[in-house]
A and B are shown apart, each in its own frame.
Chain A
Amino acid sequence: MNRADSPDILLVAPPEGRRARAFQDTLQALCWPPARVVPYLDLMEGRAHLPALIRPDSNGGRGTVVRFDSPGEDVATELALIRRGSSAGGDASADLAAGELPSTLAWYAGFAETLRGLDAELQQAPSHLRMQRTEHVLMMFDKPATHARLQAAGVPVPEALPPVTSCEELLSAARGRGWSRVFVKLAYGSSASGAVALEWSGERVQATTTVRQEGGRLFNSRKLLKLTSWPEVDSLIGALAPQRLHVERWLPKASFAGRAMDLRVVVIGGRADHALVRLGRGPITNLHLGNERGDMGALRAELRSERWQAVQQTCIATLAAFPGALYGGVDVMLTPGWRRMAVLEVNAFGDYHRGVLSNGLDTYAAELRALLGAG
Chain B
Amino acid sequence: MTINQHLSEFAGLEVTSWEPGQSLSNPASTVPRVAVEYDDAQSWTSKFRVLLELPGVADLQGLVVGMSDTEAGTDGNPQEMIEALVAAHAQLPKLRALFINDITSEENEISWIPNDDLSPIFAAYPGLEHLGIRGGNGLSVGRLVLPELRSLVIQAGGLSRELVREVMSAELPKLEHLELYLGTEDYGATCTPEDLSPILDGKLFPALKYLGLKNSEHQDAIAQIVAQAPVLEGLETLDLSMGILTDEGAQALVTSPLVAKLKKLDVSQSWCSDEMVAKLKALPTEVDASEQQEQEEGDDWRYVSLGE
Q: Does B63 contact A (CB under 8 A)?
A: no
On whether the beta carbons of A259 and B107 are closer than 8 Å, the reply is no
Q: Does A348 contact B (CB under 8 A)?
A: no
Q: Which residues of B contact A282 (CB under 8 A)?
A: 2, 105
Q: Does B72 contact A (CB under 8 A)?
A: yes
On whether the beta carbons of B109 and A252 are closer than 8 Å, the reply is no
Q: Which residues of A contact B4 (CB under 8 A)?
A: 255, 258-260, 281
Chain A, interface size category, equals 20 to 34
On whether the beta carbons of A199 and B72 are closer than 8 Å, the reply is yes
Q: Which residues of B contact A259 (CB under 8 A)?
A: 4-5
Given contacts A259-B4, A281-B1, whether A336 and B104 have CB atoms under 8 Å apart is: yes
Q: Does A215 contact B (CB under 8 A)?
A: no
On whether the beta carbons of A201 and B106 are closer than 8 Å, the reply is no
For the complex formed, measure the closest distance between the CB of B263 and the CB atoms of chain A, giving whole angstroms. Answer: 25
On whether the beta carbons of A255 and B5 are closer than 8 Å, the reply is yes
Q: Of residues 221 to 261 in A, which have CB atoms within 8 Å of B's CB atoms?
A: 226, 228, 251-260
Q: Of residues 20 to 76 in B, which have CB atoms within 8 Å of A's CB atoms?
A: 35, 37-38, 66, 71-75
Rounded to whole angstroms, the CA-CA distance of A335 and B106 in the bound complex is 9
Q: Of residues 163 to 187 in B, which have CB atoms within 8 Å of A's CB atoms?
A: 186
Q: Does B112 contact A (CB under 8 A)?
A: yes
Rounded to whole angstroms, the CA-CA distance of A256 and B75 in the bound complex is 28
Q: Does B286 contact A (CB under 8 A)?
A: no
Rounded to whole angstroms, the CA-CA distance of A252 and B70 in the bound complex is 11
Name which residue of chain A comes closest to B76, CB basis.
A201
On whether the beta carbons of B1 and A260 are closer than 8 Å, the reply is no
Rounded to whole angstroms, the CA-CA distance of A181 and B72 in the bound complex is 8
On whether the beta carbons of B107 and A201 are closer than 8 Å, the reply is no
Q: Does A180 contact B (CB under 8 A)?
A: yes
Query: Which of A200, A252, A337 meets B38, CB within 8 Å?
Result: A252
For the complex formed, measure the closest distance between the CB of B153 and the CB atoms of chain A, giving whole angstroms. Answer: 17
On whether the beta carbons of B104 and A260 are closer than 8 Å, the reply is yes
Rounded to whole angstroms, the CA-CA distance of A254 and B104 in the bound complex is 9
Given contacts A252-B38, A259-B5, A281-B1, whether A336 and B107 have CB atoms under 8 Å apart is: yes
Q: Does B17 contact A (CB under 8 A)?
A: yes
Q: Does B261 contact A (CB under 8 A)?
A: no
Query: Which of B66, B71, B106 meets A283, CB within 8 Å?
Result: B106
For the complex formed, measure the closest distance between the CB of A336 and the CB atoms of chain B, giving whole angstroms. Answer: 6
Q: Does A288 contact B (CB under 8 A)?
A: no
Q: Does A339 contact B (CB under 8 A)?
A: yes
On whether the beta carbons of B74 and A204 are closer than 8 Å, the reply is yes
Rounded to whole angstroms, the CA-CA distance of A336 and B37 in the bound complex is 8
On whether the beta carbons of B6 and A281 are closer than 8 Å, the reply is no
Q: Which residues of B contact A201 (CB under 8 A)?
A: 72-75, 112
Q: Which residues of A contact B106 (CB under 8 A)?
A: 252-255, 260, 283, 336
On whether the beta carbons of A204 and B112 are closer than 8 Å, the reply is yes
Q: Does A373 contact B (CB under 8 A)?
A: no
Given contacts A206-B109, A252-B37, A281-B2, whether A200 and B104 have CB atoms under 8 Å apart is: no
Q: Which residues of B contact A339 (CB under 8 A)?
A: 37
Given contacts A199-B72, A201-B72, A255-B106, whether A336 and B6 have CB atoms under 8 Å apart is: yes
Q: Interface 1/0s, chain B 95-111, versus A by CB < 8 A?
A: 00000000011110100
For the complex formed, measure the closest distance between the CB of A215 and the CB atoms of chain B, giving whole angstroms. Answer: 17
On whether the beta carbons of A337 and B2 are closer than 8 Å, the reply is no
Q: Of residues 77 to 122 in B, which have CB atoms within 8 Å of A's CB atoms?
A: 104-107, 109, 112
Rounded to whole angstroms, the CA-CA distance of A252 and B72 in the bound complex is 10
On whether the beta carbons of A178 and B35 are closer than 8 Å, the reply is no
Q: Which residues of A contact B288 (CB under 8 A)?
A: none
Q: Which residues of B contact A340 (CB under 8 A)?
A: 37
Name which residue of chain B comes closest to A202, CB basis.
B74
Name which residue of chain A comes closest to B112, CB basis.
A201
Q: Does B308 contact A (CB under 8 A)?
A: yes
Name which residue of chain B comes closest to A283, CB basis.
B106
Rounded to whole angstroms, the CA-CA distance of A340 and B36 in the bound complex is 13
Rounded to whole angstroms, the CA-CA distance of A228 and B307 in the bound complex is 12
Rounded to whole angstroms, the CA-CA distance of A339 and B40 in the bound complex is 11
Q: Which residues of A contact B107 (CB under 8 A)?
A: 252, 336
Rounded to whole angstroms, the CA-CA distance of A75 and B72 in the bound complex is 41
Rounded to whole angstroms, the CA-CA distance of A281 and B1 in the bound complex is 7
Rounded to whole angstroms, the CA-CA distance of A251 and B74 in the bound complex is 17
Q: Interface 1/0s, chain A 257-282, versus B by CB < 8 A?
A: 11110000000000000000000011
Q: Which of B4, B37, B109 has the most CB of A within 10 A?
A: B4
Q: Which residues of A contact B37 (CB under 8 A)?
A: 252, 335-337, 339-340
9 contacts between A and B (CB under 8 A): A201-B112, A202-B74, A204-B112, A206-B109, A252-B106, A257-B5, A336-B66, A336-B104, A339-B37
Apart from A180-B73, A336-B104, list 7 A-B contacts with CB within 8 A. A178-B71, A199-B73, A199-B109, A201-B73, A255-B104, A256-B5, A337-B17
